[in-house]
Amino acid sequence: MTDDLARRARRILLANWRRGFTVPAQGLYPHQWSWDSAFIALGLRHLSAVRAQRELESLFGAQWADGRVPQIVFNPAVPADAYFPGPDFWGPGARHAETGLVTSGLVQPPVHALAAWEVHRADPVTSERRGFLRRLYPRLRRWHDYLLDRRDLGGSGLVCVIHPWESGLDNSPSWDEPLGRVLPVSAATFVRRDLGHTGAGERPTDLDYGRYVRLAADYRDAGFADTLGGAAFAVEDPLTNALLSAGETALAAMAGELGADPAPHHERAAALTSSLMDLLYDPGEGLFFARDAHTKSLLRKRTVGGLVPLIVPGLPVVEELLKTARGEHFRLGELSPIPSYDLTAPDFEPARYWRGPSWFNTGWLIWHGLRGQRHAQLAGRLRDGMLDAIRLAGFREYVDPLSGTGHGSDDFSWTAAVAIDLLE
Ligand code: 9WN
């Protein structure tokens, strides 16, 4: 059974490989996505160290001169209108000077340092021979520098995401309030390609898309300048900032390996963790919330992103977070994988994207965090639950946390990659 699951997962990653990178899914997502590649590399490292390294190298090959790592690297081999918004939308300002590849101008959560370190550790000999760490480490530093230098829009020490797509949790209820202030463009001005692949009830709404397009177009038209005044949507998100803190700890380990100084990375990790605690943690709730950088108020929606700080080494509120995770809002350890949104909320939707369904990448982050925080038993239960969910539904993009029914794309790459990692 287990072997069969691993074999099926491997087949998916092989089928979704495109000369140097992996598409998240055939059809719906025909390009390279930033945080998908990091999760995919975590699975690929068990199949081929070289392929896992190439997955990250190809993504960082599209890194911008200012250090940003783009949300999407468009595959020139597929038609420009295969995905919306595609290369024509982003335009010449988003064309990579050296490679000529067009990318999105947005970013996604920084899981890459964590993934790169695990990829290196899986096969240090091949990594050393190919100079993987030596080449990637300075690029990872520039990526984190971009976030810390250019994206601390509120001056709080925390990084802002300026578009829901940057959060990775696109239509999360956390964004409803700040997004509500964004004037949507008319749905008649663009053609959604996602609806040709998946039911409208499982995706963001047209109104959401109208606002996504407005924000992306305004950012593009402002030359991708990062200012609070220019960003109608700017939120300090616990998932992004926790990943950055954990990523700095991974960079410290890399620096140690390469004979560089790890101290600045430890300092950055500590500063991020303390800002996370001071600004985004609510002790009454035992949960982290995102904060609107304009109003400085917390966006009080209980989402899986508020639990992701579990991956931060030395987090002082692990037990409190676990109490919340095991309670009625998330039922960790009882239901199969962990829901993306509060099960008790009146606007919980079990099949709609990031407004309820369980996803396997966030499940992996919580699992990885539990292991790091020495909660092996609970980690084991989560792992078994995720694998059971995949056995039941297949390698779906997301599943209904209550019924286990699969939704979104099938043969989804990071679901396969996470399964391979969990089975190791
Ligand atoms: C926009 C690729 C991506 C994931 C995101 C997920 C979804 C894209 C979309 O798919 O977003 O980036 O078209 O909806 O929300 O987390 O990286 O798998």
pLDDT at 1: 44
Q: Residue 285: which domain range?
A: 107-423
Shortest-distance atom of ligand 1 to CA 104: 12
Length of the chain: 424
State in Å: Cα 280 to ligand 1 middle.
25
Instruction: Select from 81, 220, 84, 247 the least CA-distant residue to 159.
Output: 247
CATH number, residue 310: 1.50.10.10
Establish whether 170 is a catalytic residue: yes
State in Å: Cα 168 to ligand 1 middle.
6
How many structural domains are present in the chain?
A: 1
Shortest-distance atom of ligand 1 to CA 168: 16
Helix (H, G, I), strand (E, B) or coil at 38: helix
pLDDT in tens, the chain (424 residues): 457 999 999 999 999 999 999 999 999 999 999 999 999 999 999 999 999 999 999 999 999 999 999 999 999 999 999 999 999 999 999 999 888 999 999 999 999 999 999 999 999 999 999 999 999 999 999 999 999 999 999 999 999 999 999 999 999 999 999 999 999 999 999 999 999 888 899 899 999 999 999 999 999 999 999 999 999 999 999 999 999 999 999 999 999 999 999 999 999 999 999 999 999 999 999 999 999 999 999 999 999 999 999 999 999 999 999 999 999 999 999 877 899 999 999 999 999 999 999 999 999 999 999 999 999 999 999 999 999 999 999 999 999 999 999 999 999 999 999 999 999 9
pLDDT at 248: 98
pLDDT at 2: 57
Establish whether 397 is a catalytic residue: yes
Contact 42, 35 (CB under 8 A): no
Residue 286 within any structural domain of the chain: yes
Residue 31 within any structural domain of the chain: no
Nearest CA to ligand 1 atom 6: 168
Residue 390 within any structural domain of the chain: yes
Residue 23 within any structural domain of the chain: no
> What is the best residue among 16, 83, 165, 239 to mutate for testing ligand 1's pocket, by most ligand atoms within 8 Å of CB?
165
The H-assigned helical ranges of 131-180 are 132-150, 164-167, 176-179
Residue 186 within any structural domain of the chain: yes
pLDDT at 98: 87
Instruction: Select from 115, 125, 123, 2 the least CA-distant residue to 56.
Output: 115
State in Å: Cα 261 to ligand 1 middle.
35
pLDDT at 359: 98
Residue 71 within any structural domain of the chain: no
The catalytically annotated residue of 397, 400, 410, 421 is: 397
Instruction: Select from 195, 69, 173, 47 the least CA-distant residue to 122.
Output: 47
Q: Which two tokens stand for residue 318?
A: 């692990």
State in Å: Cα 354 to ligand 1 middle.
10
Residue 20 within any structural domain of the chain: no
Which helix H or strand E contains 288, and what residues bound it? strand 287-288
Q: Which two tokens stand for residue 424?
A: 């190791």
Nearest CA to ligand 1 atom 18: 24
Residue 232: which residues within 8 A CB-CB, separation 6 or more?
Answer: 181, 182, 214, 215, 218
In what side-by-side order are the strands of the sheet with 290-292?
A: 160-161, 235-236, 290-292, 298-299
State in Å: Cα 167 to ligand 1 middle.
10
pLDDT at 384: 96
d(CA 275, CA 288): 12
Residue 91 within any structural domain of the chain: no
Q: Which residues line ligand 1 (CB under 6 A)?
A: 24, 29, 33, 35-36, 71, 165, 168, 170, 194
The catalytically annotated residue of 166, 170, 248, 292 is: 170
> What is the best residue among 26, 28, 33 to mutate for testing ligand 1's pocket, by most ligand atoms within 8 Å of CB?
33
